[in-house]
Amino acid sequence: MQVSDPKRLSVPPDYPYQNVVDIVSRSDEMLAGEDYAHYLDVGLSALANVALALKGRTSPASILDMPCGHGRVTRALKAAFPDSALFVSDIDSDSVDFCARTFGAHGLASQPDFRTLDFGRRFDLIWVGSLITHLPADVIKDFFRFVLRHLTEGGVAVVSMHGSYVAGRIVASLLQGGEAYGVDNVAGWRMVDGFFASGFGYANYPTTDLSVQRYGVALATGRWTCKTVRRCGGEIVFYQEHAWDRHHDVLAFARPSGDRQQ
Ligand SMILES: C[S@@+](CC[C@H](N)C(=O)[O-])C[C@H]1O[C@@H](n2cnc3c(N)ncnc32)[C@H](O)[C@@H]1O
């Protein structure tokens, strides 16, 4: 076997989408310890949140998965919505190229500054798995505005965030002198203090190259996240605690009807 040979997932016979693409990138960091069953479940959990957000809406003609990574959720979206036009975006070009090639998606390059990012079209469904979980508050606001600019009227965004459940896990680790999702103990406590004082806390990873973008761990209460979306012009569809993979909170929001936002 060549090192460049693709890895293949073993899809259990009871997996509801037997049409799921089983090719996995060797660079997919989300396939920790080769736990294929959990990897596939994370995709199904994303679909369950998407289904709730789409209730009462027409099936999406266009879907954006951003950040796509190496397609952990893209493959589930492709399997569940085979007739939708699928778009993928990430700041990592290898991820975008892999997903475009493997899932027949349209690849779109992202960048650190969402204020000037323009894909030149809108989407009926935007899935955002684990991006704002890594961003500081001002960048999250820019990202929410970016999403609202890219939603069709009647479209919906489904976005994961670290909420109170993750805050509890982090506090438990810090109390034992441990780290916080990759952030060291001192910076972790500063982040947790921010979370309890204002509803939002953030710390860069020690390895973050700040000349590229600020990137680390963000924690927010549901109240902070919903208030921030509303201030950016969005309408909350739902907020559910630890609803993605029993881990991240999930927020769904839309453009208010009649909104003429550009
Ligand atoms: C934790 S991974 C999640 C990937 C994927 N959504 C999943 O669940 O498997 C975070 C991803 O965000 C991407 N990313 C970081 N900054 C970004 C940006 N400014 N725009 C788009 N993607 C970004 C990273 O390259 C990485 O693929």
How far is the C-alpha of 174 from the C-alpha of 180, rounded, in Å?
7
138 Rama class: left (phi>0) / alpha (psi -120 to 50) / beta? alpha
Angstrom distances, CA of residue 204 to CA of 6, 42, 128, 178, 186: 33, 25, 20, 16, 12
Distance 90 CA to ligand 1 centre (A): 6
The atom of ligand 1 lying closest to the CA of 112 is: 19
Residue nearest atom 16 in ligand 1 by C-alpha distance: 91
Model confidence pLDDT, tens digit, residues 77-89: 999 999 999 999 9
Select from 45, 49, 90 the residue to mutate for testing ligand 1; criterion: most ligand atoms less than 8 Å from CB: 90
For residue 166, what pLDDT band results from cuts at 50, 70 and 90?
Answer: very high
Mean pLDDT value of segment 152-161: 97
The pLDDT tens digits for 16-63 are: 999 999 999 999 999 877 789 999 999 999 999 999 999 999 999 999
d(CA 114, CA 110): 8
Measured at the CA of 48, the angle between CA 230 and CA 235, to 5 degrees, comes to 15
User: What pLDDT is stored for residue 32 in this prediction?
Assistant: 76
* Contact indicator for 183, 191 with CB cutoff of 8 Å: yes
Q: What is the mean pLDDT of residues 241-257?
A: 96
The string of pLDDT tens digits covering residues 8-19 is: 999 999 999 999
CATH architecture type of domain 7-163+221-254: 3-Layer(aba) Sandwich (3.40)
The per-residue pLDDT for range 191-224, each reduced to its tens digit, is 999 999 999 999 999 999 999 999 999 999 999 9
Give the nearest ligand 1 atom to 135 CA.
16
How many whole angstroms separate alpha carbon 64 and alpha carbon 95? Answer: 14
- Kindly state the average pLDDT of the residues 230-255: 98
Strand stretches in the chain, DSSP E: 7-8, 23-24, 62-65, 85-90, 106-109, 123-128, 151-161, 200-204, 216-220, 235-244, 248-254
Mean pLDDT of the chain: 95
CA of 258 to the centre of ligand 1 (A): 31
What are the C-alpha distances in Å from 91 to residues 68, 112, 196, 245? Answer: 9, 8, 31, 24
Tokens representing residue 157 in the block: 């965004």
Q: pLDDT tens digit string along 113-145?
A: 999 999 999 999 999 999 999 999 999 999 999
Q: Is the pLDDT of residue 260 over 80?
A: no
The domain ranges of the chain are 7-163+221-254
Which ligand 1 atom lies nearest to the CA of residue 89?
21
Report d(CA 256, CA 202) in Å as an integer: 29
C-beta of residue 248 within 8 angstroms of C-beta of residue 160 = yes
Residues with CB under 6 A from ligand 1: 30, 66-67, 69, 72-73, 89-92, 95, 110, 112, 129-131, 213
Q: Is the pLDDT of residue 5 over 70?
A: no
